[in-house]
Every structure is written in C-alpha cells, then in structure tokens.
Structure 1
Amino acid sequence: MKNSIIIVLFFLSLQSFSQKIQTKLGPGIDLKNEDVNSIFNLWKNYLSSNPDLIYDNPNWNDSEKKKYKSYDLLKSEGFLNPSIYALQPLNTVLYINEFGNDYIIHSMYYWINEDNTLNPLAITNVVAKKENGVFKLYNYLPFYTNVWKSKQVGMINYNYPNDYIFDNENAQKADKLLHKLNELFDLDLKNLTYYIARDCDEIHKMKGFEYIISMGRTPSLCRFYDTQNSIVYSSSKIGEYDMHELIHVINAKYTKAHYLLLSGLATYTNDKSASFGKPFLYYIDRIQNYIDANLGIDLADFEKLPQIDEIDAYYFVGALITDIILEKGGIDLLKEALNSGVEDKDLLQFLEKKVGLNKQKLDSLLKNKFKKASQNQNFTFRINY
C-alpha cells in the first residue's frame, strides 16, 4: 500500500556479505574530461565501499553526514527492502552531465538473468560537487526541492511545490498529533521534516530515483516515513496531515518492537487517511470476506498473513492485536509490548505470558474481532489522539 517493493532473496540472509557493487561505464562518456573522470571514479569507489553501511564514508560529503543519520537517502527505508545497495545489483553509469557548477550521475542498477536478459531495478540521480576542491557525493533531494516553498508549523518543517495550496489547519492538527504521541509513548521528538509531493512518482524522483520498479503503482497512495532521518514523504492527495506516517514517529523510539505492532498502531485509527484512503471498517470487511472464504487460515501464523488485492492483512491483524493489548492493560502494557522483541516468537511469547493467549486462542480471538466489527459495522478505538 505504501508503494514499496520487498524483494526476498535467499542469499540476503547472509549478513556477512559485503556490499561491493560492480560499476562500469556506459558508452559515450568522455573520460578525457578531467571532472567526469574524477566523478566516475568517485562513484565507482563509493559503490565498492559497502554503501549500505552507515559510517564515515570518505566519498560522501561532510555536511549531509552531519545532517542525516543515514546520509545517503537512496538507502533509507521506503522504496526497496532491503535497500538498493544490499540487493547487490550490477551498476552502469549511463551519463554524467553538468548541473550549474555541479554534476549529476545517472546510473542504472540491474541484474542479468540466466537467459542473459536484462532485469532493470532502478535508475538513480546522485549529485557530485566539490567540497574543499575535491568532488564529493550529495543527495539529489535538496537540488530537486531547491525552489519549493518551506513552512514551519510547530515542530514540523513542511516542504512543498510552489503551486501547492497549503492547509494551515491540517498542519496544526499534525503538530498537535506529534505532541500527543510524545506524551503517550514517552518520545523526545523535537522536529520532523515533511515533504508533500504532487504524486507518488514525484516522491521517487525527488529522492533520486528517476526510475524504480514500483513506479506507476497506486501513485495516489504512495507515502512513507524515513525512521532514521525523521522524514515524512507524502503526496498532495493526503497533504499536511498524513496520520498514518506521522504515527510512525514512534518507530525510532521502539526499535525492539515487532513490525505487526508498529504497522498496526499506524492503522489503529478512524482517520480516513490512516487506513489508506478508506475507513478502517472497509478493510475489516474485505479481510472478513477473505476469512469466510478461507476458513483454514491461521491469523496467528504471521509469516503467512495474506495480501488481499491491495491490502496487506498484517496491518489490520496488527491493529487488532494492539486493541487486544490495550484492552488487557492499557497504554502501559502496549509500551511493554513494544519493547518485547522483533521476532514472531517474541510477540507470541509476550501475548501468552502477559495477555494469556496462546497461538490457538489468539487466532480465535482475532477472528472473533474481525467478525464482530464487520457484522456490527462499528469499532471503538482505545487510543484517543
């Protein structure tokens, strides 16, 4: 639903693999040009120096390493999981062109299939400019949004196109929500950067993805939260108050939380934008229809939760597990659950020990909650934002 692509490759489970990406030069690039030659070697060195890791990489500029925790925005979450670098594709520099006093590196990431056909993954734009007389790499985002408007509302710094009509009332609601989240979940959030793009494809492009395999899919619903850098990327259809992504600010605090709880919390609201443009009960009905047609489904088997058309069922299973925990012990028990571990066994053990639900009872209770909410067309949320 957030227009991200999760790619599962068996070899990626081997975390000891170094991310050294092979890079070659596309035809027609003049390496006799001293600047172009320096920039190509800079990019080649970067891609061969474990770019998926966060460290003081000498190929990246110092100012962005200070500004962002994950300074290369191409690798922060939202588009590919694992990141484009961790997928270890091949890379070809298509061309390097001047951009004022700077240069833009356009390169393609791809795999070669067994039948020798090309499997393209992405085309990215990365900026090269001089820092103390030496070329360094820079994100494309500040260059793309350089002429955009900016507005500070409370702790949120909004950035949006010049032709976008800003809604101050929704911005105030967003700031109020962040203060409430700070209070409820013991956060220490002081500022948040928020980009409002025209559509989903522009979110990709402004971050530096000229092309990526998820482009063109449900563009009006594309948005995500960059946990490491406290950045919300949303679209003009949702605007200043993207409640789903704003709730995700808790992710940075609760790093030991199971994904079902984090995803469920962001969906656990009657705000229409938080449930992907439709009311919460709309998706409850769709999932209940699936349960009725697949009576053998086990909702406590988290690895096998289905995708129903465009709906990832785990969001709403997570929301109902959140509701179960809140019903048992309120916000304090929920915070305890958020610290209980990231593995399926951790969450299941917590639910059995603290809530009294083994897997069989959890499956039964979840199905009862889906059925009751669908039949009554009513659901009471136990957190008031």
Structure 2
Amino acid sequence: MRSLYTLVLVLLFHFSYSQFRIKSISPAINQQDSFNAKIIETLEEFLETKDPKFWLDSDFKRFKSPYYEIIGIENGKLGNNFYQPSVMEIIPTDENDKRIVKIAFIGYNSETKSNLIKAIYNVIAVKKGDRVFFSKYIDYATKNWKIKNEDNVTYYISPNKNFNIAEAEAQKKDIHMLSDFFGAEKFPITYYSTISPEEVFKLKGFDYHPMMYADKSGGFAEGYNIIFSGNNSEYYTHELVHLFTSKLFPKINPYFDEGIATYFGGSGKFDYKWQKEKLKNFLTENPGFDAFEHLDIYERLFFEKETPIPYVISAVLCEMIISKFGKEKLFLVLKNGNSVEEGLKTLNLNKNNMNYELRKFLKN
C-alpha cells in the first residue's frame, strides 16, 4: 500500500498548485497509435491532478514520492503556471508495453517575445491492459550499469566510471560508525554512483535542468535508503547521514540535518576538519560577520568557493552540543524539529551572544 505520507503529500500538492494542461504535442508523435493516444490522455490527467493513481504502485514502495521532481515545476519567477508542458517525443523501448515520454516545460515571455525552457523530463509509460501508468526513468537509465554488493550497500556503477573498492570499504566503516553513534541497525542502501551532478540529473530523468550545471560535484539522499552520488566516488558519508536522520528524526530541522551531515561527512570534496578550519579563518578575517543573520541553510554563501558557511556553522553547533551535553541532547534537538532559534537555546545562544560563543569555541 502507498504510504500515508505520500497520499497526504499529494493531496497537499493538489490543493496548493493550480491545474495546468498539455500545451502542445510534437507533430512527430503518431497520435493515431492507440498506445500513444492513451499515453497522452493519461499524461494530461496526471499533470492536471498529480493524482498517484496514474503512477505504478511499485514506485511508491521504492521512492516514497516518485514524481516529486516535477511538483510545482510549472511555477517560476515569472508567475504560477508560467512553464507549460509540451510532449516532445514518445519513444519505443525494447519492451512492447513500455515507452519513454519526453516532456518539456516551456514558458513564453510576452515582454521579450521569447520562449524559456525550465526542464526536459523523461518518464516511462507502462501499458497494463487498457490502462497506462507512469514510472520513474531510473531503471531504464541504469539497465546496463554494473551492480556491486558490499555489505548492506548495493552500488549501481555508471559506465563512465570504475568501481573503487577502497572507497567502498571506507564507506562500510563509516556505516558501522554511524550505526554505533545513532544506536541504529544497519539497513539496505542503494547507491547510484556517477561522475557528476549532470549525470545524476540524467539518471533522475532530466535531459535538462538548470541545476545540472550549477556545481561540479554533489548529490542527494532520497526516499527509502537511496543515495545519488555525482562525486565520482563510492564514498559519500554526508548523504549517508541523511538516510539515518530521515529514519530516526523525521521532524528534523533542515538546518541541523545539514549540520550533523557536515559534522560526520564534510561537504563537497573536504571533510569537516578542513571545513571547520576554513570557517575559523573566515570569521577571523571577517570580524563583523553575524552568523545569526545567516541561519538559512539554503543560502548559497561560500568561503573560497568550497565552504558552505551555513552548513559548517551548523556542524560546529552540533559539535558544541555533543561536547557540552552529550549526543543524547543533540538527539533531542534533532527529534523535536524545533526552529533553529529554539535549537540554539540548548546552548543558551541567541542573537546577542552567538557570534562570541561560536568564535570562542573555534579557538579551542
């Protein structure tokens, strides 16, 4: 059965976003073909309602919310429903009951008289009897990938890279360490190992997405025990931490979620020790910097293009809680899911003293 979480999520999206319909269909698509015609009919109903009944049940069991990537994709700075869906292609596969559906989300700017593209997204259409259901693109994208099993981790290895057993062994050690720290049993993990964020987005179904090219490395922890790595590595402890916290602390505040992940796994190419030293230097060189004014974990604020300052400050705060009160106190903060300001009260921190106490701790 689909999880209650998913059904509630979809209902919220249904009421939060305005409906929109297919704007255009490529003339290259044979609409006289009965399978194609049913795909278009079903796709329009799905895009208009985001109803999970148009999606395979098996996807919900694996991915929790399998089409979250396109929820709200029609909205942007130029308005709600600005980016309308166009069906570019319906492509046969080597299975008669499955076809690839390529959807572009395009908006027309009347002021500049130009078309703007938000994304190009692929889904798999599956025919079952006289009905069509949609499924994520990922299994088709990885059908020729190598699979390696290491302890509780199943690695899917991009054809563009070689499997690194040393990194897999290091990841195995960190899994044991995190299991001990959080007091949690190991669980099965699926790890998609790619060479870049661009390849990660392609794996997730995007031919184009603006974030594909924003960074040279990165990835996601997602759904039920899944890691997408664009770091050309079998080692990604930062995202691994998110799998533990999502299970143990479902209400966790994103600020502390990224903080504890950075504490154990660093960020980008560098570990927490390196990032912490960079933060110390940054605060020394910028004595007027007010950390309390930068509690937004999504703020793209970097030092030397490598240190995401809000991430590292949150990691330092997590370390301060552990060192002063023990990990049980940190678990309480993570479990409660309070605002950042409420979490700071654990350390008796506020706007007036946070900068002083943070700098003092970093000097130790």
When the two structures are superposed, what TM-score results if normalisation uses the length of structure 2? 0.83
Answer yes or no: is the 8 Å Cα contact 2:14–2:50 preserved in 1. no
**Runs of 5+ unmatched residues, structure 2:** 1-11
Q: Which amino acid aligns with 1:66?
A: K
What displacement does 1:255 show? Answer: 2.1
In the alignment, structure 1 residue 183 sits paired with structure 2 residue 183? no
1:295-348 Cα shifts (integer Å, max 9, x gaps): 433212344666136343111110110111011111111111112324233323
Q: Which amino acid aligns with 2:201?
A: H
1:276 is paired with a residue of what secondary structure? coil
Alignment of 1:24-173 (within 5 A): 24-28=23-27, 29-50=29-50, 57-72=52-67, 74=69, 84=73, 89-100=83-94, 101=96, 102-113=98-109, 115=111, 116-162=113-159, 164-173=161-170
Answer yes or no: is the 8 Å Cα contact 1:140–1:206 preserved in 2. yes
User: Which position in structure 1 is the counterpart of 2:258?
Assistant: 263
Q: Which amino acid aligns with 2:44?
A: K
User: Which position in structure 2 is the counterpart of 1:299?
Assistant: 291
User: Which position in structure 2 is the counterpart of 1:344?
Assistant: 340
| Separation (CA, whole Å) in 1 of partners of 2:308 and 2:148 | 34
Instruction: Say if 1:359 and 1:189 are closer, same or farther in 2 by CA, change over 3 A.
Output: farther
Instruction: Say if 1:290 and 1:163 are closer, same or farther in 2 by CA, change over 3 A.
Output: closer
Match of 2:347 among 347, 355, 371: 355
| Separation (CA, whole Å) in 2 of partners of 1:327 and 1:359 | 22
| Separation (CA, whole Å) in 2 of partners of 1:222 and 1:155 | 22
| Separation (CA, whole Å) in 2 of partners of 1:315 and 1:104 | 38
Instruction: Say if 1:105 and 1:15 are closer, same or farther in 2 by CA, change over 3 A.
Output: closer
1:70 is paired with a residue of what secondary structure? coil
| Separation (CA, whole Å) in 1 of partners of 2:271 and 2:186 | 28
| Separation (CA, whole Å) in 1 of partners of 2:316 and 2:175 | 23
2:127 is paired with a residue of what secondary structure? strand
| Separation (CA, whole Å) in 1 of partners of 2:343 and 2:282 | 24
Whose relative contact order is higher, 1 or 2, with alpha carbons under 8 Å and at least 6 apart?
A: 1
Answer yes or no: is the 8 Å Cα contact 1:123–1:209 preserved in 2. yes
When the two structures are superposed, what TM-score results if normalisation uses the length of structure 1? 0.78
Answer yes or no: is the 8 Å Cα contact 2:253–2:334 preserved in 1. yes
What displacement does 1:61 show? Answer: 1.6
More helix by share: 2
Identity of aligned residues (%): 23
| Separation (CA, whole Å) in 2 of partners of 1:211 and 1:282 | 33
Answer yes or no: is the 8 Å Cα contact 2:160–2:194 preserved in 1. no
Answer yes or no: is the 8 Å Cα contact 1:42–1:135 preserved in 2. yes
| Separation (CA, whole Å) in 2 of partners of 1:22 and 1:342 | 39
Q: Which amino acid aligns with 2:17?
A: S
User: Which position in structure 2 is the counterpart of 1:382?
Assistant: none
Answer yes or no: is the 8 Å Cα contact 1:19–1:86 preserved in 2. no
2:54 is paired with a residue of what secondary structure? coil
| Separation (CA, whole Å) in 1 of partners of 2:231 and 2:336 | 37
**4+ residue segments displaced more than 6 Å:** none
**Runs of 5+ unmatched residues, structure 1:** 1-12, 52-56, 76-81, 374-385
| Separation (CA, whole Å) in 1 of partners of 2:300 and 2:88 | 39
Instruction: Say if 1:67 and 1:263 are closer, same or farther in 2 by CA, change over 3 A.
Output: closer
Answer yes or no: is the 8 Å Cα contact 1:61–1:131 preserved in 2. no
1:239-290 Cα shifts (integer Å, max 9, x gaps): 2111111122223121222222211111114x6xx33113545544554555
